[in-house]
Chain A
Amino acid sequence: MNQPRILIFACKWCGFIGADAAGKKRTSLPSQFRIIPVECASLVETDAILRALAGGIDGIAVLGCHIGGCRYNNANHTAIKRLELLQDLLDTTGIGRSRLLLSFGTAHEDYQFEEIIKNFFDELILLPPLDPWLSPFGVIS
């Protein structure tokens, strides 16, 4: 069975702590996700998300700190607004907002990270694969 492929951008603070906690508690998780740590969720460019989708990755998750908790003076506020706008854009282009998961402050415990990732996998499995001609970089096998 082909598990969907998930790329996670996790901020090194609240975003990453849940994943790390899940690791320390040896929670069993499906293996088809990769985490790229970033300094702050505001560093996650729209472009990077689109390139990832175009390159054959089925779902992108952005994990950041909860509103009011960003140590970069609420940089995550602008990030959330921008990424929610991106979700709207994904809807209008037929890709669908469900391919972009936003979790700001809701994945900082190990069981929260587990739940969010497992739910994301379950959602993505139900979606049809992205059309191959959308990936100019070639299909990743």
Chain B
Amino acid sequence: MANISVFLCKCFGEIDNTVDFDFLRKELSKNPSIVLISTVDSLCLETDIEKTVSRIKESNSEKVLIAACSILSRGNLVVESLIKEGIERHKIGLVDIREGCAWIHGDDPAGVTKKAKDLINIGIAALQHKELSDDMSVTVHPNALIIGAGPAGLAAAISLAKTRFKVNILERSKAPGGMLRLISRCYPGNEDASNKLEPYIREVENNPLITFYPQSKIASIEGDTGNFTVHFSSQEKDSSIKSGVIIIATGAKIFFPTGLYGYGEIKNVITQMEFERQILNGSLETKKPVFIQCVGARDKKRPYCSTICCPISLKNASRIAEDVPGASVFILHRGIMTPGNTLEKYYRDTLASGVQFIRFEEEHPPRIIGSDHVESVEVYDAITGITRKIETDLVVLSTPLVPNNDNAQLAKMMDIEVDRYGFFSEIYPMHPLETKTDGIFICGSARWPVSSDNSILQGKAAAMKAVSYLRQSKITASTLSRVPGLKAGHARVVTESCTGCGNCVAACPFNACHLEKMEGRYISVVNMMKCKACGSCVSVCPNGSVQIPEHNYRMVGEMIKMAF
């Protein structure tokens, strides 16, 4: 058993006016491995920390136990100051005898001192049997891989290139631009889409730090934070790239509302994208358009609001209302979704331009009248209670963005998740662009339907998150923590006893365990870059082969023995 120094903090009487320190000292001196017992007025305010440390060294102690206040109070300050003086973290133990003892049992003098003694003994047992986890570092590849060259991916790429990092962009189609290539104007400023896109494309072509791979297909992704390898083919040529981070900016898909509102059967019933295409190729001719919102959205199949369809209708409706003399424009909606300042003003301006809004309820959708081509739309106006028949020459359906078909497959390659709708999942609530795997970020409509402006914003934000990884030359696994400070440790497998049952593989929430064949049998191997020391594997291992060294089986057993 190692020699231990024990420091008891009186906390200016807050602890020692209830806990009997004399009794504690007497009991603790019975333990032969305790070579130093020191009582201090206040450990955290001790100015002469070097004196404390030299006392520890003089007494030949290997480990230090501090009995003071809670780790959420000032206990951790003492630990940190000892670490600064060169004592290793796993050789320091902290026991809470203030919030956890003196302050809650003041009216039980016998009980409070016994509890303090027991808590200290638990701490000593923990300290004696605590082991140190392994750790590892990887060199960070100082380049980023961006999947998808829509506005989100382009903004991320350019931000990263400006920060002097090499960027590789994989794009499924032939050219960059994503959905921005297919529309004429962007809301809310009515900026021309190709003008908006042009500087991004120019930058991608000219910036030597950006390499663009068109017509790409991803075959597999290996590796971990700081050190990903992506195998892909671009224009039929196989290739692979090593990257420090990956940003997913694959966008979303357009939904074709076949069977809804006569789409596909009746002429002049089109989607918003087709409306844009007609503008771009000059074939748009309408004087009495009717826009219908929530087509295939906010219903049982797709119970979500696709965020952008209301502003898109405002954009296209006001265009007709302003440009076509004598136009009669209607938007049939179930609530105009324009939250915020800019979008709400956009709504007010559209109202002012003469566009008429009619609200309908989900139970009474509008009815298309016309056999071969649309003649009118009949709608029950929920606000007035009157059924109206609107003559029209064009019905434009606002449909939601839906997740790409291969989102789930891509997610699996990277050990991240998709949500119930199929979009990539985030970490709630304050890390919306981060995923289960450190170093993999999501942005744009791949994450959740957003406008082009917000895609660009999210691309920049994802690039920011990437920069903090890329600006390190090495990443140590213990720093990839979900909590302030370092991880609690890493799971470790005792290969001699591991039976390869695979329980840990199934239980690990981060996919950090996998089975490998070694000497003819299967053994579990822990990937420290992914392991977060949550302990899920430990509690499902049938024979205790996988442990977290800082909280191992023997340690817990000894702690329990000393508890009372």
* Interface of A toward B, CB cutoff 8 Å: 5, 7, 12-13, 16-17, 19-20, 22-24, 26-32, 34-40, 42-48, 51-52, 55-57, 71-75, 78-79, 82, 137, 140
Contacts and interface: CB of A to CB of B under 8 A. Distances in A.
Given A31-B114, A43-B548, A71 B482 contact: yes
Given A31-B114, A32-B564, A35-B100, 11 more contacts: A7-B560, A7-B563, A20-B70, A29-B105, A31-B105, A38-B535, A39-B551, A47-B544, A55-B560, A55-B561, A73-B509
Nearest to B483: A71
Contact of B509 (A23, A46, A74): A74
B553 A75 contact: no
Interface of B: 70-73, 96, 98-101, 103-108, 111-112, 114-115, 118-119, 122, 436, 482-483, 488, 507, 509-510, 532-536, 538-540, 544, 548, 551, 553, 556-557, 559-561, 563-564
A87 B534 CA distance: 22
9 contacts: A28-B105, A28-B106, A45-B556, A47-B544, A57-B560, A71-B482, A72-B532, A73-B509, A75-B509
A34 B99 CA distance: 12
Contacts of A56: 564
A39 B71 CA distance: 13
Contacts of B563: 5, 7, 34, 36, 52, 57
Contacts of B557: 48, 51
Most buried by B among A12, A45, A51, A137: A45
Contacts of B122: 34, 36
Contacts of B119: 34
Contacts of A140: 564
Contacts of B73: 24
Contacts of A73: 436, 509-510, 534
A39 B560 contact: no
B546 to A, nearest CB: 11
A42 B536 contact: yes
A55 B71 CA distance: 28
Given A39-B534, A52-B560, A71-B482, A31 B488 contact: no
A36 B126 CA distance: 10
A39 B533 contact: yes
A102 B561 CA distance: 22
B535 A31 contact: no
Contacts of A35: 100
Contact of B534 (A30, A43, A45): A43
B105 A43 contact: no
B132 to A, nearest CB: 15
Lowest 8 A-B CB distances belong to which pairs? A43-B535, A23-B99, A31-B111, A72-B534, A73-B509, A31-B105, A42-B536, A40-B534
A31 B106 contact: no
A72 B509 contact: yes
A73 to B, nearest CB: 4
B206 to A, nearest CB: 41
A42 B112 contact: no
Given A52-B560, A56-B564, A22 B104 contact: yes
B561 A45 contact: no
B533 A45 contact: no
A45 B538 contact: yes
A31 to B, nearest CB: 3
B539 A45 contact: yes
A43 B539 contact: yes
A66 B557 CA distance: 27
Given A34-B115, A39-B488, A73-B510, A5 B535 contact: no
Contacts of B70: 20, 23
Contacts of A45: 538-539, 553, 556
Nearest to B111: A31
Nearest to A7: B563
Given A34-B564, A45-B556, A57-B564, A26 B535 contact: no
Nearest to A68: B428
A39 to B, nearest CB: 4
A79 B539 contact: yes
